[in-house]
Amino acid sequence: MSTEKLPKRSADYSAWYNELVKRADLAENSDVRGCMVIKPYGYSIWEKMQQTLDRMFKETGHTNAYFPLFVPKSFLEKEEGHAEGFAKECAVVTHYRLKTDPDRKGKLIVDKDARLEEELIVRPTSEAIIWNTYRGWIQSYRDLPLLINQWANVVRWEMRTRLFLRTAEFLWQEGHTAHATEQEAVEETLQMLDVYATFAETFLGIPVFKGRKPAHERFAGAIDTYCIEAMMQDGKALQAGTSHYLGQNFAKAFDVKFTNKENKLEYAYATSWGVSTRLMGALIMAHSDDEGLVLPPNLAPFQVVIVPIYKGDDRSEVVEKCKEFRKRLQAVGISVKLDDRDTHTPGFKFAEYELKGVPVRLALGGRDLKNGTVEVARRDTKTKTSISQDQLESYVKDLMEEIQKSIFQKAYDFRQANTVKVDTYEEFKEAIENKSQFVFAHWDGTTETAERIKDETKATIRCIPMNNPQEEGKCILTGKPSKERVLFAKAY
3 — pLDDT class (breaks 50, 70, 90): low
User: In one letter, which amino acid is 234?
Assistant: D
Cα R_g (the chain), whole angstroms: 26
pLDDT surpasses 80 at 78:
yes
Q: Using CA atoms, how far apart are residues 186 and 245, in angstroms rounded to an integer?
A: 6
Q: What is the mean pLDDT of residues 140-169?
A: 96
Q: Residues 395-411: pLDDT tens digits?
A: 999 999 999 999 999 99
Residue 435 has a pLDDT of: 82
| DSSP designation for 380 | T
Q: Residues 114-132: pLDDT tens digits?
A: 999 999 999 999 999 999 9
Q: Using CA atoms, how far apart are residues 206 and 221, in angstroms rounded to an integer?
A: 29
Residue 1 has a pLDDT of: 61
Three state DSSP letters for 129-155: HHHHHHHHHCCEHHHCCEEEEEEEEEE
Q: Using CA atoms, how far apart are residues 485 and 451, in angstroms rounded to an integer?
A: 17
Per mean pLDDT, which range of 104-108, 173-177, 263-267, 299-303 is the poorest? 104-108
DSSP notation for 317-375 = HHHHHHHHHHHHHHHTT--EEE---SSS-HHHHHHHHHHTT-SEEEEE-HHHHHHTEEE
4 — pLDDT class (breaks 50, 70, 90): confident
> Is pLDDT larger for residue 2 or for residue 344?
344
Residue 131 has a pLDDT of: 98
Q: Which residue from 316, 303, 326, 327 is spatially nearest to 369, judged by alpha carbons? A: 316
pLDDT surpasses 80 at 313:
no
User: Residue 23 in contact with residue 6, Cβ under 8 Å?
Assistant: yes
pLDDT surpasses 90 at 434:
no
Q: Using CA atoms, how far apart are residues 241 and 192, in angstroms rounded to an integer?
A: 10
Residue 218 has a pLDDT of: 96
288 Cβ partners below 8 Å, 6+ apart? 20, 233, 294, 357
Q: Residues 195-250: pLDDT tens digits?
A: 999 999 999 999 999 999 999 999 999 999 999 999 999 999 999 999 999 999 99
Residue 158 has a pLDDT of: 86
2 — pLDDT class (breaks 50, 70, 90): low
Strand, helix or coil at 251? helix
User: Residue 351 in contact with residue 339, Cβ under 8 Å?
Assistant: no
Stretch (H or E) spanning 298:
none
Ramachandran sector of residue 325 (left: φ over 0; alpha: ψ -120 to 50; beta: rest): alpha
Peptide bond into 308 cis (omega under 30): no
Stretch (H or E) spanning 62:
none
Q: Residues 345-398: pLDDT tens digits?
A: 999 999 999 999 999 999 999 999 999 999 999 999 999 999 999 999 999 999
Residue 277 has a pLDDT of: 98
Q: Residues 15-39: pLDDT tens digits?
A: 999 999 999 999 999 999 999 999 9
Ramachandran sector of residue 447 (left: φ over 0; alpha: ψ -120 to 50; beta: rest): alpha
Q: Residues 275-285: pLDDT tens digits?
A: 999 999 999 99
Strand runs labelled E in 52-206: 63-64, 70-72, 91-95, 98-100, 108-110, 115-122, 146-155, 169-179
Stretch (H or E) spanning 234:
none
Residue 105 has a pLDDT of: 85
For the whole model, what pTM was predicted? 0.96
Other beta carbons within 10 Å of 322: 23
Q: Using CA atoms, how far apart are residues 301 and 53, in angstroms rounded to an integer?
A: 16
Residue 347 has a pLDDT of: 97
pLDDT surpasses 90 at 436:
no
pLDDT surpasses 90 at 46:
yes
Mean confidence (pLDDT) of the chain: 96
Domains located in the chain, CATH noted: 13-71+124-287 (3.30.930.10), 304-414 (3.40.50.800), 419-489 (3.30.110.30)
Q: Which residue from 126, 55, 119 is spatially nearest to 93, judged by alpha carbons? A: 119
